[in-house]
Structure 1
Amino acid sequence: MTEPALLRVMVVDDEPLAVERLQLLLARLPNVTVVGTANEGEAALRIAEAVTPDLVLLDIAMPGMDGIDVARALSTSTVDPAIVFITAFDNFAVAAFDVAAIDYLMKPVQPERLGRALERARAHLAAGGGGSGRAAAGHVEEFWVPDHTGLVRIAASDIDRVTAERDYMRLHVGPRSWLIHRTIGKLEAELDPAHFLRVHRSVILRRDTITGLYRDETGHWTARLRDGGEQRIGRSYVDEVKRLAGR
């Protein structure tokens, strides 16, 4: 059996005992090395820059710069490690997961669950992903979104359409949907344009869900969708949508 790839891990938690416990758990796992620890956000950024970890196990609730702020800063840095959030709370604000993460762990962290999180991180890194859940070309591959049980992972390729609801975007996957805190402009930039197309100021469609286009008697263009629905196309988006049909 092939040994797992070496995973360079950094642990960030404001509770020294929590850091120590994670270090002990990580020491029992094969091909894992702890390259740094930190007890607060500013130090975490400095140390991460110096040790360049593959993965950061990151507590969310910390005084001052919390885990979400640290994750945002890391995602725009030259380090950009994979992120696994750690939390003692089982209720999450939508805005807290504006930064994509590979996984999240509940305290107290269980050895088996930690092992699965590291396996997921290895697979993600092997596929060329970074901490922001992006493909090599810079487009988001997945979203972690809150629901009543905690978090749900949604692959970008599974999203049928996106609709805007004020400061939130609703991701539609089949009959279900989830909210994330984004502007539609930011989400449009994050999704791969080879697979997604903005057709209205408040709607993005996955290209392969569009089965036809027609213009009504008033001159408005509408897209027919694979699920039998329809979507009116905004006037400023008509030319781009018509290129689907080579027009």
Structure 2
Amino acid sequence: MTRIKTIIVDDERYSRDELKHLLQEYDHINVVGEAASGEDALVLCMQQLPAVVFLDIEMPKMSGLEVAKHLKELKNPPLIVFATAYPDFALEAFRHEAIDYLLKPYEEEQVNETIQRMIKYLQPNQYMPVSTSNAKLAVELEHEIFYLDPLEILYISREERVSRIFTKDGHYESKLALKELEERLSSYPFFRIHKSYIVNLNHVSKLIPWFNGAYMLELAGSKEKLSVSRNYVKSLRSKLEL
């Protein structure tokens, strides 16, 4: 699997460390460098040729917007994700063709949505392993190991340190964290809709508006209605709709 070369640019060390920690949760992201100023960022980008740059806006001497302007002049300019504590620059940021705008303090759901958008821009087949027809998800239950066909899984939930895997025929429990299960199923059509749920997009049948920008989701073969966090709604719809 090819990893996405990424650079973090922020004059605050704490902010760089926080974002680096969040990005390291994703196996397909490779943080190849950090810069504390716009000038250093330009030099680092010319050396490393990253695919993505997470770029702070308010920095001394050279702002992130100025850095973005220079990066666009490169032969193969990187994708830009602005990461800032100030929402007021959003309009100007997107004029620099940024693919996203992350607000500090960072939220895991927001970062995940950004990562999914990055992958979509960078042609997901290049970064995700191709699924094989005989691959199974191993689940141990009462000293027996069950092998589940990922395509038959409806959704997976996380409650009280236990992951519950639901199929049309019943459910299974796993000690694996939801994040690890999501990574193992990354080459199948699974999508995170909430910090506690990932779903098989092939089984989605209905999306129902709820309140405050959130939705409820129905799956064919399940009576449960699952909550979709508002941070995931836009990406979910782009995955589902023609």
Normalised by the length of structure 2, the TM-score is 0.48
Greater Cα radius of gyration, structure 1 or 2:
1
Normalised by the length of structure 1, the TM-score is 0.47
